[in-house]
Structure 1
Amino acid sequence: MSTVLVIGAGGVSSVCVHKMAMNKDIFGDIHLASRTRSKCDAIAASVKERTGVDVATYEIDAEEVPAMINLIKKIGPSLVVNLALPYQDLPIMDACLAAGVDYLDTANYEPKDEAKFEYSWQWAYHDRFKEAGIMALLGSGFDPGVTSIFTMWLKKHKLKTIRTLDILDCNGGDHGQAFATNFNPEINIREVTAPARHWENGEFVETPAMGKRVEFDFEAVGPKNMYMMYHEELESLAKFNPEMERARFWMTFGDEYIKHLTVLQNVGMTSIEPMKYKGVEIIPLQFLAAVLPKPETLGETTKGNTNIGCIATGEALDGSGEKTFYIKNICSHEAAYEETGNQAVSYTTGVPAMIGSAMVVQGIWKGEGVFNVEEMDPDPFMDMLNRHGLPWTVEELDGPVEF
């Protein structure tokens, strides 16, 4: 059994810690820290009530590296699981390096002052982690994470090469709010309002945000409008699958979400540029995030399903020509809430964070340096998805799907 330290106390963290506690044979000693200790205490209380497992809690500013180092050394974990904000990836990696402890996250680094998700900053840590003899595992959420592993599983078992890849992320849940985001509002809105980018013929092609919309009929959800946008797994998937001609990411949004977001953009509330209000410097998007409903409060009212998967076309592994496969997971908001007290968007990220952590602490996935999940054997991870609440299916389609 291992000792783990989880950083962050949002919905994803709540799911991850609950699932860790449900796997006491793997995670023997669980510690949870965030800027607001009361949030950690609330998660710990829920975990205790549901599983009987005690979770130790702490207050920490993840951007204060010396304090992080002291906390890690005090606890002595074999793994630090970063479920905080993407801005905090590098400070937490610095602390892990200094303390000599493995690191895992679910989303790549993003500077506070620029909406730019990119792996370059974290990949630059490879030599330092290698010299320290420790591992950093990047992107063990759903997307990135499961979608990346879905792709590599197809490449291991179905396709010799992948010519085209489309990642489809559909949230068919209804939370009853006029406007709310199902994960951190600041990160969600920065992603959605940034220019779209997709991989085509060896380079990224940039198009206007929300500029391409198509309708797709999702199993267990129904027809939904999905929009092409940029997501960080496209960068790592293109790196580890250089033969790909095209890779795109799609996410569904309802008409009400688009209407509210358009108005908020038009009045400047999605800006990340600092401004003065009555002598106080604020960032409009951070203020907006503060007044919107917190994602972790939406679990009880959210009904419906998520449907997230990958459609890949390429040369069949058995030499039978070009084939297309659709691999996906469908997750119930109600079932996720019943099990962990969180809605399915948090659940679909928190469970893979637990599974990735299990891969590392058990030595199933190992290495010295910085690695993306695409570089690991997908099979043990895929097996755990089926056993821990995120079962997947794969089907062969009649041919390529054109959007």
Structure 2
Amino acid sequence: MAKVLVIGAGGVGSVAVHKMAMNPDIFSEVVLASRTLAKCDAIAASVKQRTGRDVATYQLDADDVAATTALLNELKPALVVNLALPYQDLNIMEACLAAGVNYMDTANYEPIDEAKFEYKWQWAYQERFKEAGLTALLGSGFDPGVTSVFATWLKKHKLDSIRTLDILDCNGGDHGQPFATNFNPEINIREVTAPARRWEKGEWVETPALTIKQTFDFEAVGPKNMYLMYHEEIESLAHHLPEIERIRFWMTFGDAYITHLTVLQNVGMTRIDPVIYEGKEIVPLQFLKAVLPEPASLGALTKGKTNIGDIATGLKDGVEKTFYIYNICDHEEAYAETGNQAISYTTGVPAMIGAAMLVTGTWGGAGVFNIEQFNPDPYMDMLNKHGLPWQVKELEGPLEF
């Protein structure tokens, strides 16, 4: 059993803390810290009501390395689970090194002044974590996270090698709002409006955002338009599984979402560079975030299901085969269990599982690791037991598009 500090009190942090509290045999003590103490206290109250367990809360500015280090030295947790904003990853990693604490996150670092996310900044910490004898596990959410574990499980159990990999992320939920994002609006919009990139035959192929579209019939959801995007697990999978010739990431969006986003882009509301308004600097995208619905408020309103998974084509005993492995999650069931919709649930549960892998010693080692570098089997077992059951089926052939 171990004490864990969770940093970040959004929907994902809420789910992770609830699920940790439901597993006292793994997590003896759960502590939650965030910039806004009231959010932490609300989550702690919900956890107490649902599980009977107490969660200690702290106010913390995770950009302040000294303050974070001081809190770690006071609490002495076995692990920091970083569920804050990706801008804060490096500062939290610095604090973990200073205090001698293991680190885990769900999303890779992104500079606040540039809409560009990649692993180079965090991979650069490899030697420092190795020399300190500490573990840093990157990307234990759903995508990245589960989607990478799906790929390594398929390679271990179904294919001798993978030639092509497509990651398909479908949210079939409906919250009834004209325009809202299911996780942090600032991060969501930066991600969606970035150029699309796919990995093909050893190099990146880039296309303008939201210009390549296909329709796919998702089980439990139905036919949906999905758009080619860039997502960070493409980079880490291409690095750690270099045999894969092509990796693509697809995400579904409704027509109304695309229309709203296009208009917001056209009028400059998605800009991340400051503008002067009434003598003060404001960032349009941050202002837009402030006026959009808070993602956590959508939980009670959202109905429908998510369907996220991998389609992999490769060789098994010299014969080409294609497998589809995926999870279906129900928004209303997720809300009933944790008070959060399925987008938060599908990230928060894997965050708990990744933390469990580390604090139990199932996974470990000195250095910085991506999730696909470890044995997928115990992680996959916990997905089935803790709310994200998966299924796998063989397809007649690879995706035609």
- Aligning the two structures, in what range does the TM-score lie when normalised by the shorter sequence? over 0.9
- Distance between the aligned counterparts of 2:131 and 2:318, measured in 1? 45
Aligned residue for 2:162, secondary structure, equals coil
Q: 2:375 matched to which residue of 1?
A: 377
1:301 Cα deviation (Å)? 0.5
Aligned residue for 2:397, secondary structure, equals coil
2:370 paired with 1:390:
no
Q: 1:178 matched to which residue of 2?
A: 178
- Distance between the aligned counterparts of 1:234 and 1:66, measured in 2? 34
Q: Which amino acid aligns with 1:207?
A: T
2:243 paired with 1:243:
yes
Q: 1:151 matched to which residue of 2?
A: 151
2:52 paired with 1:52:
yes
Q: 1:328 matched to which residue of 2?
A: 326
Deviation string for 1:78-130 (max 9, x for gaps)? 00000000000000000000000000000000000111110000000000000
Q: 1:278 matched to which residue of 2?
A: 278
1:208 Cα deviation (Å)? 0.5
Q: Which amino acid aligns with 1:237?
A: L
- Distance between the aligned counterparts of 2:384 and 2:311, measured in 1? 19
- Distance between the aligned counterparts of 2:290 and 2:132, measured in 1? 39
- Output aligned runs, 1:3-402, within 5 Å: 3-316=3-316, 319-402=317-400
Deviation string for 1:336-358 (max 9, x for gaps)? 00000000000000000000000
> Which stretch of the first structure deviates more once superposed, 240-249 or 103-112?
240-249
Aligned residue for 1:77, secondary structure, equals coil
- Distance between the aligned counterparts of 1:387 and 1:157, measured in 2? 20
1:320 Cα deviation (Å)? 4.8
1:401 Cα deviation (Å)? 1.3
Deviation string for 1:252-279 (max 9, x for gaps)? 0000000100000000000001111001
Deviation string for 1:283-319 (max 9, x for gaps)? 0001101111111111001000000000000011xx1
1:240 Cα deviation (Å)? 1.1
TM-score, length of structure 1 as denominator length = 0.99
Please, what is the CA RMSD of the aligned residues?
Answer: 0.5
Runs of 4+ in 1 over 4 A off after TM superposition: none
Aligned residue for 1:308, secondary structure, equals strand
1:245 Cα deviation (Å)? 1.1
**Paired positions, count:** 401
- Distance between the aligned counterparts of 1:400 and 1:298, measured in 2? 36
- Distance between the aligned counterparts of 1:380 and 1:368, measured in 2? 20
- Distance between the aligned counterparts of 1:294 and 1:361, measured in 2? 32
- Distance between the aligned counterparts of 1:402 and 1:64, measured in 2? 49
Deviation string for 1:149-208 (max 9, x for gaps)? 000000111111110000000000000100000011000000000000000010111101
- Distance between the aligned counterparts of 1:279 and 1:10, measured in 2? 32
1:241 Cα deviation (Å)? 1.1
Q: Which amino acid aligns with 2:344?
A: S
